[in-house]
Structure 1
Amino acid sequence: MSTVMQAGPLAPLDLPAPTDVTAAQLRGAHCVWCAGELHGDTAVDLEPRHDSINGVPGRWYPRGCRSCILQPVLLLVRTHPGTCEQCTDDATLCETRHALRALALELRR
């Protein structure tokens, strides 16, 4: 699992550790979960991550295929409101919630 907190709405996604994936997965050419080859129309960007890679601070660019990312995104849509102060105050103002729901709807098409 990635240990460094990220800023975007997909930051809470449970990803493999960068030391457990291939070079192609680190650069986003293959799905971070199934290792399938990705193309522009099949890839979902999971936001750049800053982590220690083989003991060296680095940046990696995980991407996933639509079939692998759908379930983790749906889980985030369900669990996010319970961990978000903005959702507790007024969920209609939460940008993260909106981004997650939009992605979930897009992935279901």
Structure 2
Amino acid sequence: MSVLEMPADVLVVLVLPELATVTTGQSRGADCVWCTTRLTGDVAVDLGERMGLPAGEEADLFEPEKGLVRWYPRACPKCTADRAHKGLFAHTPACEQCVDEAALCPVGRTLYRLVREGRR
């Protein structure tokens, strides 16, 4: 699934690690952001461009964007499915749309699709 198809709210539910806690391979998308498995373009799930502070850096209270760098997390389908599955349990009970009609909620629908695609 490309990041363009993934609503921003889904990325919040998947809970990415902080940039300061990942390896260089994870930050550039070569390795899964959760399990460090080496990724290839045909199986990687693109989690979009992110901004974060590198390891050892602290946020400036007066200029919070100072020192931020771009990073490009990607994940393996299995880790994405596991995170999406956990995300469904966290999202669905609190989402009025999911409670009323789950098929109409873009976040719930995307999480469900990520679970199915990752478990193939």
Instruction: Give the TM-score normalised by structure 2.
Output: 0.71
1:101 counterpart = 2:112: yes
CA distance in 1, matches of 2:96, 2:69: 30
Please tell me the residue identity of whatever aligns with 2:106. E
1:82 aligns with 2:93: yes
- The residue correspondences of 1:52-63 to structure 2 (distance < 5 A) are 52-53=53-54, 54-55=57-58, 56-63=67-74
CA RMSD of aligned residues (A): 2.2
Corresponding letter in the other structure for 1:39: T
Q: Which consecutive unaligned segments of at least 5 residues does structure 1 have? A: 1-5
Task: Measure the CA separation in 1 of the matches of 2:28 and 2:96.
Answer: 33
Among residues 52, 60, 82, which one is paired with 1:71 in the alignment?
82
The 8 Å contact of residues 74 and 104 in structure 1, kept in 2 or not, is answered as yes
Larger radius of gyration: 2
* Matched position secondary structure for 1:9: helix
Distance 1:16 1:92 in 2: 29
Q: Percent identical across equivalent pairs?
A: 42
Say how many residue pairs are matched.
104
Q: Contact (CA 8 Å) 1:11, 1:47: kept in 2 or not?
A: no
Q: Which stretches in structure 2 are left out of the alignment for 5+ residues?
A: 1-6, 59-66
Bigger share in strand: 1
Q: Which moved more, 1:13-22 or 1:49-58?
A: 49-58
Q: Higher RCO, 1 or 2 (CA under 8 Å, sep at least 6)?
A: 2
Q: Tell me what 2:25 maps to.
A: 24
What's the counterpart of residue 62 of structure 2? none
Cα distance in structure 2, aligned partners of 1:80 and 1:47: 21
